[in-house]
Amino acid sequence: MRDRFAGVTDTSRPRLLLIDGHSMAYRAFFALPVDKFSTTSGQHTNAVHGFISMLATLLRVEEPTHVAVAFDAGSTTFRTEALPSYKGTRDATPEPFKGQVPLIKEVLEAMHVRHLDKDNFEADDILATLSSQADALGMEVLVCSGDRDSLQFVNENVTVLYPVKGVSELARMTPDAVRTKYGVEPHQYPELAALVGETSDNLPGVPGVGPKTAAKWINQFGSLEQILDRAGEIKGKAGESLRDHLDVVRLNRQLNHLLTDVELPFGPDDLRVQPWDREAMSTVFDALQFRTLRERLFAMHPSADDDENAAPAVEVTVEDLAPGLLEAWFAEHDQRPLGLEVAGRPVPAGGDAWALAIADGPGSAVALDLTDLSAADDTALSDWLSDPTRAKVVHGGKSVWHELASRGYSLEGVVFDTELAAYLCFPDQRSYDLGDLAERHLHRELTPVDTSSDQGALDLSVGEDSEGGRLAVRAAALTDLAEVLRGELGDRSAEPLLTELELPLSAVLVHMERHGIAMDVDYLRELEQHFGELVTGAAASAYEVIGREVNLGSPKQLQEVLFDQLDMPKTKKIKTGYTTDAAALADLFVKTEHPFLKFLLDHRDSTRLRQTVEGLLKSVADDGRIHTTFQQTIAATGRLSSTEPNLQNIPIRTEAGRRIRRAFVVGDGYETLLTADYSQIEMRIMAHLSGDEGLIEAFRTGEDLHNYVGSRVFQVETSAVTPAMRSKIKAMSYGLAYGLSSFGLSNQLNIDVKEASKLMEDYFTRFGGVRTYLAGVVDEARANGYTATIMGRRRYLPDLTSDNRQRREMAERMALNAPIQGSAADIIKVAMLGVEKEIAVRGLRSRLLLQVHDELILEVGHGELEELTTLVREQMGSAADLLVPLDVSVGTGSSWHDAGH
């Protein structure tokens, strides 16, 4: 397949690649499965993916010096004016294809590839014009098009790349290839097509005349004109048919003639291949959720090698320090913040570090092998690291801390964290790799420049593979990157969020991760055994019912059992068939009462619980505790997340699940566990942000929120609010903060849409401020381009103005939710800082262990319970000044389960 691209290339001549955007995108659309390529928001991307992937291959294999993509402008052209039915069969553009062309254009713009269209003309005319101009300039031209009309301008300088299968396999249509395939010269192709017709353009030809006959006539008579003039000489049925369709042929020929004199804003010279705007590309690819493709493209062009705009190769001077001279180096460079980068394993309470680099910008850097450090240097390093007055810039300070801790170093004086700063500026990214940031914001590659033999400036082999050089280049980028990001933060008024919130919080998180939470391992093993038995039992019963053994964990096999073998009614459709999720199975059970479903659900539950227990057991460290990692830069709303293991999704809803919480226990040397959580913090924020008097009043009365709201909505006494009413109101209240529709509400509550609409209407009648607020949030976000939390944390939502309904509505729901979820995240972060600080001020041993979004879990030192309880209540309760009180409930116990409430 690659061979098809591997034509002979003349490296001295400029080579222009022209692409018919519409036809290739359309091909791509049909070549790739539409259901396999779409974003989580529902935008289809198969055509975009296929097109860009093809473009990438062409750029790599053909190495054009110039490139452009032409699109059809509108639905009318001079051709449709001449023949309204022209391309008439194409009007039914498939829905999932619509909207993908603008996305392709976005990517092209980011890649600095010119794209053009012109009213009244087709892409082919633009290509023909550019091609003939380029040919005249002596350029070699490659035209990539799925429209056979383009074959007419093939010559020894112009080759058409015609898709034979999908968009990855292209046939190289040289003059010889055209002759072989069609039996006519390239310039005669439109004459042949005029006779044969072109179904894709809805142009009928002469009935009974195919390509073979047409080619025979053209060769016999020399030209179409001659054929038409001498049509009378042609014998047989074909001749007769021709004579009946002379007008058709003339019109076809008129339509399939491509113009070579379209006026265009650019000439071939203006189409030089440009360096990419990697930042913009990343943004678009992030939005399209193209991970692999992005990597593939970026890997293709490891460096911007074009002369202008090229990333300047920054050489980092790595000083070859003799042992014992580190102190002196610090004395010379320690006046400004220094970049610090460490090589190691950033595992909480089990990390490692083997090398490190410190840099005063690119001018001077040192790289140190931590496994082989002189005593003097070790002291100098340790003093510098632990001195809060000596400023450091790091990338992901929490990891650095864990790494350094493994060698007994502490880290103080971090004044800037480039990862946290990038997160605050661009919270929707999934990762903030230092190399990517340097590339985007400094236009700098973080690969060590190999100056090899000459005095080996970078050849400082610390560890294998010149780790020292790599680290030094990264450390050297930190201070420069910090400057750029400081500016970005300033643009967003986000500096205080970094220095007063996230940066100090990262230190708190370090402590929490390092402490971990104690586990009752013996009890966990019992649970594992217990759940294991339940799994086996449920599986055996399920097999017995259906008379065979299947893998109950395989949705595919389950579908066979349910819908083929047992012939149950079909559930909601999913990509791979019909769903077998719990809601659907419960629904099926109501309908069929088939015992298999019961056992299957039991099996699911028990398997899940066993899995959770197994995962926890594997995560227990040598100290008998689990040290999760809190991700501080993942959730776009500002929340934390927890990984390895995730301790923020430990079961609580079912009794069986709650038993797992008993395994989280107070550690030796501590009195008890304490949990403190905000009650209804999101609704309180809703009340605050909306200023709705009714909702504010609800929180001030101290009445149960959902009962109170229910009594207003249903217009009954609070004592008359039934549990059913209360749960409807609860679902509704929380749904509102997520952008819930009446359809969604009806689904959730199993009521019809009409009733759901009525419920929403009644709700808004009583709490009109909420409706006004929610509508205002979206409007404001659309106008500003972002939402903001009470502390000014922004989330940018460009899709609010998208033409695509799915994307736009998704962005609207995000706009509704982000200020609420994000403000709650801000508040608990402030509370964590307050708790940590107050504990330190009072010299308590108690310590924070976990955060679960609106809940803190602490380990209480002996005799500190009372003081700590007060302290935690105070700090959490005063973390924000809202129009409603922040209510905190506290519980204690020797396990997480017992401390819960």
> 87 or 897, CB closer to DNA?
897
Query: What is the closest distance, in whole angstroms, from the C-beta atom of residue 587 to DNA in the complex?
Result: 12
d(CA 835, CA 850): 13
User: Tokens 């504990």, residue?
Assistant: 839
> 186 or 645, CB closer to DNA?
645
3-state secondary structure of 2: helix
d(CA 669, CA 675): 18
> 52 or 740, CB closer to DNA?
740
Neighbour-count burial of 391, counting CB atoms closer than 10 A to its CB (0-12 exposed, 13-18 middle, 19+ buried): middle
> 774 or 818, CB closer to DNA?
818
> 27 or 604, CB closer to DNA?
604
d(CA 509, CA 679): 23
Q: Comparing C-alpha atoms, which of 214, 162, 170 is closest to residue 190?
A: 214
d(CA 130, CA 17): 10
> 681 or 871, CB closer to DNA?
681
> What is the Cα 525 distance to its own chain's centre?
38
Query: What is the closest distance, in whole angstroms, from the C-beta atom of residue 589 to DNA in the complex?
Result: 12
Neighbour-count burial of 208, counting CB atoms closer than 10 A to its CB (0-12 exposed, 13-18 middle, 19+ buried): middle
d(CA 290, CA 285): 5
> 745 or 886, CB closer to DNA?
745
d(CA 799, CA 806): 10
Q: Comparing C-alpha atoms, which of 757, 736, 758, 739 is closest to residue 686?
A: 736
Query: What is the closest distance, in whole angstroms, from the C-beta atom of residue 810 to DNA in the complex?
Result: 6
> 20 or 799, CB closer to DNA?
799
d(CA 70, CA 162): 16
Q: How many CB atoms lie within 10 A of CB 835?
A: 25
Query: What is the closest distance, in whole angstroms, from the C-beta atom of residue 342 to DNA in the complex?
Result: 23
Query: What is the closest distance, in whole angstroms, from the C-beta atom of residue 791 to DNA in the complex?
Result: 17
> 132 or 612, CB closer to DNA?
612
Q: Comparing C-alpha atoms, which of 464, 471, 466, 421 is closest to residue 446?
A: 471
Query: What is the closest distance, in whole angstroms, from the C-beta atom of residue 300 to DNA in the complex?
Result: 17
Query: What is the closest distance, in whole angstroms, from the C-beta atom of residue 692 to DNA in the complex?
Result: 20
> 205 or 822, CB closer to DNA?
822
Query: What is the closest distance, in whole angstroms, from the C-beta atom of residue 119 to DNA in the complex?
Result: 36
d(CA 193, CA 214): 8
Query: What is the closest distance, in whole angstroms, from the C-beta atom of residue 221 to DNA in the complex?
Result: 49
In the complex, the residues that contact DNA under the rule CB under 7 A are 36, 42, 291-292, 551, 553-557, 574-576, 579-583, 585, 604-605, 608, 611, 615, 631, 634-637, 639, 641-646, 648-654, 657, 731, 734-735, 738-741, 743-745, 747-748, 810, 813-814, 817-818, 821, 852-855
Query: What is the closest distance, in whole angstroms, from the C-beta atom of residue 708 to DNA in the complex?
Result: 21
Give the pair of three-digit tokens for residue 628: 């999760």
Helix (H) or strand (E) holding 625: strand 625-626
Query: What is the closest distance, in whole angstroms, from the C-beta atom of residue 523 to DNA in the complex?
Result: 19
> 329 or 423, CB closer to DNA?
423
d(CA 791, CA 495): 11
d(CA 892, CA 901): 9
Pairing of strands 338-345, 169-173: unpaired
Q: Comparing C-alpha atoms, which of 875, 822, 809, 815 is closest to residue 844?
A: 875
Cα–Cα distances (Å) from 662 to 42, 423, 641, 665, 869, in that order, read 41, 36, 22, 7, 21
Cα–Cα distances (Å) from 425 to 106, 422, 428, 432, 788, in that order, read 22, 5, 9, 11, 12
d(CA 542, CA 600): 6
3-state secondary structure of 794: strand
Q: What angle do CA 688, 691, 695 make, to 5 degrees?
A: 80
d(CA 284, CA 301): 18
> 357 or 535, CB closer to DNA?
535
Look at the chain and count its residues. Answer: 901
> 268 or 735, CB closer to DNA?
735
CB 308 within 8 A of CB 358: no
> 271 or 852, CB closer to DNA?
852
> 245 or 604, CB closer to DNA?
604
Q: Comparing C-alpha atoms, which of 530, 563, 529, 557 is closest to residue 543?
A: 557
Query: What is the closest distance, in whole angstroms, from the C-beta atom of residue 813 to DNA in the complex?
Result: 4
User: Tokens 């996230």, residue?
Assistant: 502
CB 516 within 8 A of CB 849: yes
**HSE of 136 in the Cβ direction (CA atoms, 13 Å)?**
11
> 298 or 738, CB closer to DNA?
738
Task: Name residues whose C-beta falls within 8 Å of residue 224's C-beta, 6 or more positions apart in sequence.
Answer: 188, 191, 194, 195, 218, 249, 253
Query: What is the closest distance, in whole angstroms, from the C-beta atom of residue 823 to DNA in the complex?
Result: 13
Query: What is the closest distance, in whole angstroms, from the C-beta atom of residue 887 to DNA in the complex?
Result: 14
Q: What is the 3-state secondary structure (H, E, C) of 163-199?
A: EEECCCEEEEECHHHHHHHHCCCHHHHHHHHHHHEEH
Query: What is the closest distance, in whole angstroms, from the C-beta atom of residue 704 to DNA in the complex?
Result: 18
d(CA 384, CA 816): 46
Query: What is the closest distance, in whole angstroms, from the C-beta atom of residue 748 to DNA in the complex?
Result: 4
Burial 288-300 (b: 16+ CB within 10 A, else e): bbbeebbeebbee
> 336 or 345, CB closer to DNA?
345
Query: What is the closest distance, in whole angstroms, from the C-beta atom of residue 677 to DNA in the complex?
Result: 7
Q: Is 693 left (phi over 0), alpha (psi -120 to 50) or beta?
A: alpha
Query: What is the closest distance, in whole angstroms, from the C-beta atom of residue 899 to DNA in the complex?
Result: 13
> 141 or 613, CB closer to DNA?
613
